[in-house]
Structure 1
């Protein structure tokens, strides 16, 4: 077995020795072959580099030649374009020059025509101005004549207006003399207050006081309209009241209203002609002292209410819904309202000029606002109550013109 191992190692050693001999024999050849390959590669590389350099030089020369030719061509084109532009601008300049010359010629001709037209227009205007001047002179003469006529008429109107105003002033004095005096109220009642604001010099609103035995009649009349016509109506009704109450001794408010209504119709229609309707809103209080400190009050109103104080509250009698009127097509009927009040109680009657007065927004003063003001001053004197009403009315009115006669009568029993 050991011999076998020696034999195996010997064989392996011989194989390695053969390989070494072969390598030593071929090694010089391998070195020569490698050197030959290096030499051939260097030669090939140099040939390629020379070829590339020649191609590059040829291409560079071609590019330079093409660039030079392109520059020459561009320069030729630029020169041709410049020549073309010069020719075009020359043509345009010549055309503009011709147009300018033509324009100047046309303008000169037009200016001459305009001058001729202006001269003709000026001559026509001169003729028109002369005609207008003559017409204006004639108008001035007419205006002067009309002015003198107006001045003369104004003088006549001023004189007539003065006479009318004087007549109205006299009529106002007569009206005041014929109507009730405040002394009558002082004789019959504990206290009173009057708010009177006529719209014009004479008024269609008035109050009347009369006494028959132990009964005092207080009447407030609001005649239709205002001014002189209403004043004549008030004088007529004043005359009728004296006849009905003082002569006929009639003390019931409803009957007084009915007789006023009938008598007014007779006066207006006595000649049988159809006249304009005449009417009046009237409030009548018949006041009679009863046992103790009590007063019995009968009230009838023709479209006028009566306010009174009961248990420190302002109460109201509304009255009837019809007026005293000369219109015969209506059959009016009036009714009394009766209440018993204690001493120091207050009653108020007033015309619709008070409650219908408007402010700048068109809102009326109103009966409810009047009641609120009276209620607020119920503990004050009767004069202060009426002053409060007047101040509130002026504040509500706010500078608006007064639309109707205003009258209010306040009585303390």
Structure 2
């Protein structure tokens, strides 16, 4: 009937409008992705400082609430894996703030102590988001694992907000010949507080660790271990991720990245990726 034809026409037109709107939104998010990728550190800069390294960066959506940071000066290299609250567009806005604040703190203010960097970053976030610590206030902020590595003597400083650092030793430390270190993974605990306003904020802890040639370090956001999947649709869990690190530590870095990626995809199977994923690996 004429009426049905009219209705069909209206529905078709509405569908077209929705499709065009969706395309506009996707196009603009894709453009945002280009901007976000442009401000991330260039992999070749990381490789120049650490030829044996990898970056596994898997956003859940087109743009990401995770980001990674790298900067090298004469004495030190600074590297961080950062997880902002939220993912997608809101997370990406937070990540842009994070990148620009870290650049200002490390490059312009030349702050080199890992814990001081996080203290300054927290001050900047609180000020920028006008966080007053009131109840019901947006809990925006970031979790981070940040290392400052002295490139001459390989002394590492680590400061963490909710995210730890993993170290696998390449050989036994001198003077400890009777201790079996190989095959152990050292987990350097973070402070249990975010880079944001928090009930009982404390200054961040500066952990100092002497690395040796052949040691491997891993920094990660929580997206990998929180992924549901496997035969029982359960979370991957940090214990399993640590086992992978132990099993792959002797492999070339790009192979490690490949194994981590394949393991993640196999675990996820048909399920949706639930969060952004970032893992950085460096062999000293």
Query: What is the CA-CA distance between 1:146 and the residue it aligns to?
Result: 4.7
2:221 — aligned with what?
351
Unaligned regions of 5+ residues in structure 1, if any? 1-136
Query: What is the CA-CA distance between 1:307 and the residue it aligns to?
Result: 0.7
Distance 1:205 1:146 in 2: 45
1:314 — aligned with what?
185
Match of 1:337 among 207, 211, 221: 207
Query: What is the CA-CA distance between 1:193 and the residue it aligns to?
Result: 1.0
1:193 — aligned with what?
54
2:115 — aligned with what?
254
2:20 — aligned with what?
159
Query: What is the CA-CA distance between 1:199 and the residue it aligns to?
Result: 0.8
Query: What is the CA-CA distance between 1:348 and the residue it aligns to?
Result: 0.5
Distance 1:339 1:270 in 2: 34
Query: What is the CA-CA distance between 1:318 and the residue it aligns to?
Result: 1.9
CA contact (8 A) 1:258 1:332 kept: no
Matches within 5 A, 1:392-411: 392-411=263-282
1:296 — aligned with what?
155
Larger Rg: 1
2:66 — aligned with what?
205
Distance 2:115 2:254 in 1: 30
Higher relative contact order (Cα pairs below 8 Å, separated by 6+ residues): 2
CA contact (8 A) 1:212 1:251 kept: no
Distance 1:193 1:149 in 2: 52
Distance 2:198 2:193 in 1: 13
Q: TM-score, normalised by structure 1?
A: 0.61
Q: Which has the higher strand share?
A: 2
Query: What is the CA-CA distance between 1:210 and the residue it aligns to?
Result: 1.0
Q: Which moved more, 1:382-391 or 1:259-268?
A: 382-391
Distance 1:332 1:282 in 2: 15
Deviations 1:177-233 (A, max 9, x none): 111110210221131111111111111111111123311110111111111111110
CA RMSD of aligned residues (A): 2.3
Q: SS of the residue aligned with 1:344?
A: coil
Query: What is the CA-CA distance between 1:258 and the residue it aligns to?
Result: 1.2
2:251 — aligned with what?
380
Distance 1:201 1:319 in 2: 29
Deviations 1:107-146 (A, max 9, x none): xxxxxxxxxxxxxxxxxxxxxxxxxxxxxx8xx93x6555
1:276 — aligned with what?
138
Unaligned regions of 5+ residues in structure 2, if any? 172-181
Deviations 1:291-332 (A, max 9, x none): xxx41000011111111112433211121111112x365524
